[in-house]
A and B are shown apart, each in its own frame.
Chain A
Amino acid sequence: MWDAFVAVFARDVLQAWRRRADWLTTIFFFVIVVSLFPLGVGPEPALLKTMAPGIVWVAALLAAMLSLPRVFGTDFADGTLEQLVLTPQPLPFLVLAKVLAHWLLTGIPLAVIAPVLGLQFGLEGEPVVVLFVALLLGTPCLSLIGAVGAALTLGVRGGGVLIALLVLPLYIPVLIFGAGAVEATVAGTGAAGHLSLLAAGLLIAIVLIPWAVAAALRIALE
């Protein structure tokens, strides 16, 4: 079972490595969206500093969402997904491997770049660290929840726009606790509560979501 898990994970990462442009687009999208906000609302440092956590998180949500169709899309198109469903290994487990690969390729780069963007917005010291940690805890949630949307919209008309409609409302708790953690640090009340809630949400998602994704995949392949 672990062999299959590692194989699926390694295959997704290798594929992404060979088509780097696909994944780098997501990262640059994140950077561009964040950079647009100061141009839109003006270069007032105090204003930007209060808005920074929210802006970075909303941009991370959008970037994670944009990369979702690729989680299952190519495998669905070339029939690999069907073979994965037919394997004797438990499908939720294989789903978890694919989601892990997605997180490695989008979530971790977003979390790594975010502190730099935070510095641009005038965040310094502890809030930047908390932003990084919160994104590390939050982005796997985004990958997991997003995988449900990606599986449900496989081969569906207008899948790209539809995925936004399905997934973004479900992302709201992650956004609130993720941005809240940074804001609480700036305000001096400590981020422990928010980070704990993010971690709790992540644990629940890891336990429950792979089953939902597996069910959705089976429906898509019927």
Chain B
Amino acid sequence: MALNWFKYSSPQTFYPLAGRLIPVFAVLAAVLGAVGLYIGFFVAPTDFQQGEAYRIIFIHVPAAWMSMFIYLVMAGWAAFGLILNTRLSSMMATALAPTGALMTFLALWTGSLWGKPMWGTWWAWDARMTSELILLFLYIGFMALQASIDDPRRADKAGAILALVGAVNVPIIYFSVKWWNTLHQGSSISFGRSPSMASTMLLGMLVMALAYWMYCIAAALMRVRSIILERERNAQWVRDLKGAPA
């Protein structure tokens, strides 16, 4: 086997790789973000029902996608860390949590900004909004648990169990909230947007989603680099780094 799959699973080899990858993802995020916002704000046509205010979906929808996806990725890394006992996997899970929480918050915030002109209310106990809020609580719980355990290895493992229990629970929470919502309130607010979205709108949204991806990867890599330095500060290779240029 010529390819060593595990070469970059050690913090020591991953640290410089991450350092080289961060600029790539950061530049891609900036370029795609600029293009996506340009399409979103200048090229995409005005929606005949919602006017100009709909344009916030170019920020809102990708954030909501990322918020859910990052939780799965985080739980995946946490599971890797728990099963294979690899340090870097757990570090990745820890590094992803704040970005995921940020995306969740962004989705909630932009969602309520959108809701005010559209439905005349900042907040509705809609199934999606409620489950997004609960997702934010799950992220905060994960971070709070890790922050309160001093031993990093124990924090990793405890966080991993919580993330996995949460990941099993997320679909249950989603469907329970959905049923709860349909039971409680009638369809006072219709969330179903017209399925025939203009192709430029779709394009703008996809470009923005890619920009979010790149940003999230870059942010997570930067955070994981800091975590590696913090945890491996007593390792010889980190001491050697001090002399070398960054």
A residues with a Cβ closer than 8 A to B are: 145, 148, 152-153, 156-159, 162, 165-166, 168-170, 172-173, 176-177, 180, 183-184, 197, 201, 208-209, 212, 215-216, 219-220, 222
Contact = CB atoms under 8 A, between A and B. Distances in A.
Interface string B135-171: 0011011001100111001100110011011101100
Nearest to B175: A173
B90 to A, nearest CB: 12
Interface in B172-198: 172-173, 176-177, 179-180, 183
A180 B180 contact: yes
A133 B161 CA distance: 31
B22 interface: no
B176 A152 contact: no
A29 to B, nearest CB: 23
Contact of A184 (B169, B173, B183): B183
Contacts of B137: 165, 168-169
Given A180-B183, A208-B168, A169 B154 contact: no
Contacts of A162: 144-145, 148
Given A166-B162, A172-B134, A222-B154, 9 more contacts: A153-B148, A156-B145, A156-B148, A170-B165, A170-B166, A176-B177, A180-B183, A212-B164, A219-B161
Contacts of B138: 169
A152 B138 CA distance: 14
Contacts of B154: 219-220, 222
Interface residues of B, number: 29
Contacts of A159: 148
A18 to B, nearest CB: 31
Nearest to A172: B173
B172 A158 contact: no
A173 B165 contact: no
A115 to B, nearest CB: 23
Contacts of A209: 165
A219 B172 contact: no
Contacts of B166: 169-170
A166 B119 CA distance: 33
A158 B173 CA distance: 27
Given A162-B145, A165-B144, A222-B154, A152 B183 contact: no
B162 A152 contact: yes
Contacts of B162: 148, 152, 166
